[in-house]
Chain A
């Protein structure tokens, strides 16, 4: 079981207190009627599914209930960074280098 840090509550808790909501920083097309089928497919279904350093959304469902983002290495499952929703995606390559990957 992973230990997850909630940047809003400023606490580290067991994974069972949280819900993982998949790849982060995927934004909904801003003008749906002008969006091509390809762009809808990319938005709805295509995922990076990275083997390595990955930014994903988590939600503190049994705590504050808020969404936040985390960077995790999907091979070792180690978290490299937690940050609040709305903050820009960190430089994943730099984080990977820092973690010695």
Chain B
């Protein structure tokens, strides 16, 4: 792999940046792999990368129906944070935060992780109580999170309207300073380049159409649009299409897939210093390095695979943004889009072995999987390599829905469900 460096940049400047070369190969699938990962989004590519790097399993293919990073990895609002309520979640998301901090160096790829702070607003007495409970729980779990008064919140984010005369006045905020944003595409590309360099085959435009199981029930391989590929182990990381893929192996999933929308404005000069989220009135906003305001809206109320959502959902979010940040009222929105998110009953992900030997699943990230990308790939690679979960993802089994040991983050997610 050609390492990226200041020297390379200078050298390539002389040839007008025309000779950088491809970042990864586009190989034809081999007949057999040790591990096949279904889905080349951030989580799938990270899994392949850590399988190769940390566990020495390099005979790996990542199979993708479309193009890599073209699903929810390329559609999310790029927010990184770890202030979840329960210890299990705090451990998982904090593991990711640890990896985010050194990720650009590790991958030799600038993922533009910017810990600009994530501020979650409280608008009601109940919000204040819940936010403070979160802060205390976080402090006990070693997760950084602090309480701000409305005045302190405005000091941290000057565009914020803390007038008492708005429909949902700001009564305070929880701030996680280590939270922030990262460049979503760069995360997928960086992991793809890193994995490819270690020998992983990334096979795009290749849909998985079936999962073959042997006499003993264990997986034998995947049927794809490019023919049958033998595999000793299969990891399904298919986000909104997980139910569909797992159905091929005869495994029912506790998932429902909803369209989640986001939108961006025209690019403007730096005007917004952090990430602001509001659970109660359902809005989140940050500014990309390109200058666009990146705004996240909610999910539709019905399951759908359409990758679009109702315009009233977007309107609802824009209403909230206009009230909280009045000086954005004349901004024009450029684009909006939807992604299909797979939601579990307890709003926590599933990183787990399955009843089928050799079949593993990483799904259920719902409306907030991007932030966990490095941690998710890291512990899922461990689960596949060792055939047993990492200490951190051990609680996130499918079996928890039978035992009743749910990890109820419904109230802890950034948006009201």
A-side residues, CB < 8 A to B, are: 1-2, 15-16, 19-20, 22, 37-38, 40-42, 44-51, 54, 56, 72, 74-77
Contacts and interface: CB of A to CB of B under 8 A. Distances in A.
Interface stretch (B36-44, B268-276, B303-311): B303-311
B345 interface: yes
Contact of A77 (B253, B255, B257, B306): B306
Contacts of A54: 303
Contacts of B306: 74-77
Given A51-B305, A56-B302, A77-B304, 10 more contacts: A1-B310, A15-B301, A16-B312, A38-B402, A42-B252, A45-B401, A46-B254, A47-B254, A49-B244, A50-B243
Interface in B300-346: 301-306, 310-312, 345
A51 B254 contact: no
Chain B interface residue count: which class? 20 to 34
B305 A20 contact: no
A41 B355 CA distance: 14
Given A20-B301, A56-B302, A44 B401 contact: yes
B241 interface: yes
Interface in B330-384: 345
A20 B241 CA distance: 21
Main secondary structure of the interface of B (DSSP, over half): loop
B310 A49 contact: no
Contact of A20 (B255, B302, B311): B302
27 contacts: A15-B301, A15-B312, A20-B302, A22-B303, A41-B254, A41-B402, A44-B401, A45-B254, A45-B345, A46-B252, A47-B253, A47-B255, A48-B243, A49-B243, A49-B253, A50-B243, A51-B244, A51-B257, A56-B302, A72-B302, A74-B303, A75-B304, A75-B305, A75-B306, A77-B302, A77-B304, A77-B306
A2 B252 CA distance: 29
Contacts of B244: 49, 51
Of A41, A47, A49, A77, chain B has the most CB atoms within 10 Å of the CB of A49
Contacts of A50: 243
Nearest to A1: B310
A49 B256 contact: yes
A20 B252 CA distance: 22
Contacts, number: 64
Question: Closest 9 interchain pairs by CB?
Answer: A49-B243, A45-B254, A20-B302, A20-B301, A46-B252, A45-B401, A1-B310, A51-B305, A41-B402
Contacts of A56: 302-303
A44 B301 CA distance: 19
B305 A74 contact: yes
Nearest to B315: A1
Contact of A49 (B303, B345, B401): B303
Given A2-B310, A76-B306, A41 B401 contact: yes
B127 to A, nearest CB: 23
B380 to A, nearest CB: 21
Nearest to B255: A49
Nearest to A46: B252
Contacts of A72: 302
Interface string B209-242: 0000000000000000000000000000000010
Contacts of A51: 241, 243-244, 257, 305
Of B303, B304, B305, chain A has the most CB atoms within 10 Å of the CB of B303
A51 B153 CA distance: 43
Given A1-B311, A1-B312, A41-B401, A74 B304 contact: yes
Contacts of B401: 41, 44-45
A44 B406 CA distance: 13
A77 B308 CA distance: 10
Contacts of A45: 254, 345, 401
Contacts of B241: 51
Nearest to B399: A41
